[in-house]
């Protein structure tokens, strides 16, 4: 709208100048009225001859010229050249009809857009307009700052995602190592139990079956070490495998209640049972491991205890040092928002509390 007003005023000024040449007797009064009207415009207007001689310069343009160049407009072409050389001037793209446009920041903080073009027809005149675009410039600066902040946040997010990927990879690697450690421990326990049974006097057929099962277990573990999966399976096969391991090491699992259906909670409970099974057979010489699962307001609570030496004697172990397997299990449970508690009042028992869904 401001541009349209400026163009209309310039067109009016040109028409008045031509009319003045044709009616010199009526010039004085009408020229004064025209200048007064043009001086009240909020935009700057400069109209000069083709050689640059100023014909019409309103008050706003003269004020801008003094603020930006230090003097009034004596030559329209020189004024434009001075504007172009200012350090606070920026050449704009998208000029129309051969016009050139500059954006200049004034000392008072305002921003002005200067547009230069030549009028059509003969004679031709040099026209310069100044439009206040401070609000647009501020909005552009705020948008640019917001975009820069968004780019920084995106960069930080990418770095965070990379860190998460590294952490997940380390966690999966540690989990795979702990799985290999548990599998080797279970095989050693099976071998020990097999030796005890052979010494006890198994018949040849039972001994061959036991040895065949033991060799198959060792073969599966050793093949698994060569291409172990970093993540732990959590299905019905895990439960069957766990019970098979318990049978081979001579410590059966007695279940009560239902395992959680949610994948993560089920995996954590089975991992806790497996860790307790290994420790019960290796340290407490237990023959049974009891697992009681309960669902309580969106949580699964699993109580795990054995019938090892300490439990039968009614005493408690003097001390208990958490090994790598138990420490890894505790870290995984706490990461999912759960809790692992040890009770040494009567033997060693575990209580696992994990959310069924997060």
Q: 316-353 burial, b for 16+ CB within 10 Å, e for fewer? A: eeeeeeeeebbebbbebbeeeebebeeeeeebbbbbbb
C-alpha span between 225 and 186 (Å, rounded): 14
Strand order in the sheet with 252-256: 252-256, 288-296, 299-306, 349-355, 339-343
Residue of 10 and 111 predicted with greater confidence: 111
Q: With a cut of 70, say whether residue 27 has pLDDT above it.
A: no
Residue predicted with more confidence, 77 or 2:
77
Average pLDDT, the chain: 78
Note the pLDDT of residue 65. 94
Confidence of residue 22 (pLDDT cuts 50, 70, 90): low
Tell me the two tokens of residue 339.
Answer: 């809790």
pLDDT tens digit string along 107-140?
999 999 999 988 877 888 999 999 999 999 999 9
In the sheet where 100-105 sits, what is the strand order? Answer: 54-57, 44-49, 125-132, 111-118, 100-105, 89-91
pLDDT at 312: 54
Of all residues in the chain, what percent carry a pLDDT higher than 90? 23
For 220, other C-beta atoms within 10 Å of its C-beta total 13
Residue 259, token pair as written in the block: 């395992």
Q: What is the mean pLDDT of residues 337-342?
A: 90
- What mean pLDDT do residues 40-51 have? 90
| Residues linked to residue 252 through DSSP beta bridges, in sequence order | 288
Sorting pLDDT into bands at 50, 70 and 90, what band is 330? Answer: confident
Domains of the chain: 2-140 (3.30.450), 171-355 (3.30.565.10)
Residue 234: what pLDDT?
A: 42
pLDDT of residue 229: 46
Residue length of the chain: 358
- Cis check for the bond before 103: say yes or no (omega within 30 of 0): no
The reported pLDDT for the residue numbered 189 is 78
CB-based contact 108:68 (threshold 8 Å):
no
276 vs 323: CA distance, rounded Å = 12
Which pLDDT score, from 0 to 100, does residue 96 have?
Answer: 45
* pTM of the complete model: 0.42
Residue 2: CB atoms within 10 A of its CB come to: 14
Q: How confident is the model at residue 7 (pLDDT cuts 50, 70, 90)?
A: low
Report d(CA 251, CA 200) in Å as an integer.
18
pLDDT at 135: 93
Q: Which helix (H) or strand (E) holds 115?
A: strand 111-118
DSSP string, 273-341: HHHHHHHHHHHS--SEEEEEEEEETTEEEEEEEE--HHHHHT---S-----HHHHHHHHHHHHTT-EEE
Distances (CA, A) of 191 to 216, 241, 250, 275: 12, 17, 11, 18
Q: Output DSSP code: residue 231.
A: S
pLDDT, tens only, 227-280: 544 444 444 567 777 787 777 777 888 999 888 888 888 888 988 888 888 777
């Amino acid at each position: 709208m401001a541009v349209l007003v400026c163009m209309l005023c310039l067109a009016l000024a040109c028409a008045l100048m031509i009319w003045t040449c044709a009616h010199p007797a009526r010039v004085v009064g009408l020229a004064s009225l025209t200048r007064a009207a043009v001086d009240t415009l909020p935009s700057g207007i400069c109209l000069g001859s083709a050689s640059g001689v100023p014909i019409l310069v309103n008050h706003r343009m003269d004020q801008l010229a003094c603020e930006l160049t230090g003097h009034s407009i004596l030559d329209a072409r020189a004024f434009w050249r001075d504007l172009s050389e200012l350090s606070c001037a920026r050449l704009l793209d998208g000029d129309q009809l051969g016009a050139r446009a500059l954006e200049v920041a004034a000392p008072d903080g305002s921003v002005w857009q200067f547009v230069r073009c030549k009028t059509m027809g003969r004679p031709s005149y040099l026209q310069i307009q100044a439009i206040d675009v401070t609000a647009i410039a501020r909005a552009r600066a705020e948008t640019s700052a917001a975009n820069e902040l968004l780019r920084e946040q995106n960069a930080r997010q990418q770095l965070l995602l990379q860190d998460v990927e590294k952490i997940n990879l380390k966690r999966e690697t540690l989990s795979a190592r702990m799985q290999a450690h548990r599998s080797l421990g279970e095989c050693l326990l099976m071998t020990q139990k097999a030796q005890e049974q052979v010494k006890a006097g198994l018949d040849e057929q039972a001994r061959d079956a036991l040895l065949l099962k033991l060799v198959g277990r060792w073969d599966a573990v050793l093949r698994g070490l060569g291409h172990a999966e970093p993540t732990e399976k959590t299905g019905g096969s895990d439960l069957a495998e766990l019970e098979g391991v318990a049978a081979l090491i001579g410590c059966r699992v007695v279940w009560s209640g239902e395992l959680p259906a949610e994948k993560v909670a089920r995996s954590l409970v089975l991992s806790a049972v497996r860790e307790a099974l290994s420790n019960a057979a290796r340290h407490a010489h237990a023959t049974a491991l009891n697992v009681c699962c309960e669902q309580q307001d969106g949580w699964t609570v699993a109580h795990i205890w054995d019938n090892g030496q300490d439990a039968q004697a009614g005493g408690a172990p003097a001390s208990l040092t958490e090994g790598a397997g138990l420490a890894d299990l505790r870290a995984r449970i706490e990461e999912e928002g759960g809790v692992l508690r040890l009770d040494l009042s009567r033997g060693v028992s575990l209580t696992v509390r994990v959310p069924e869904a997060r």
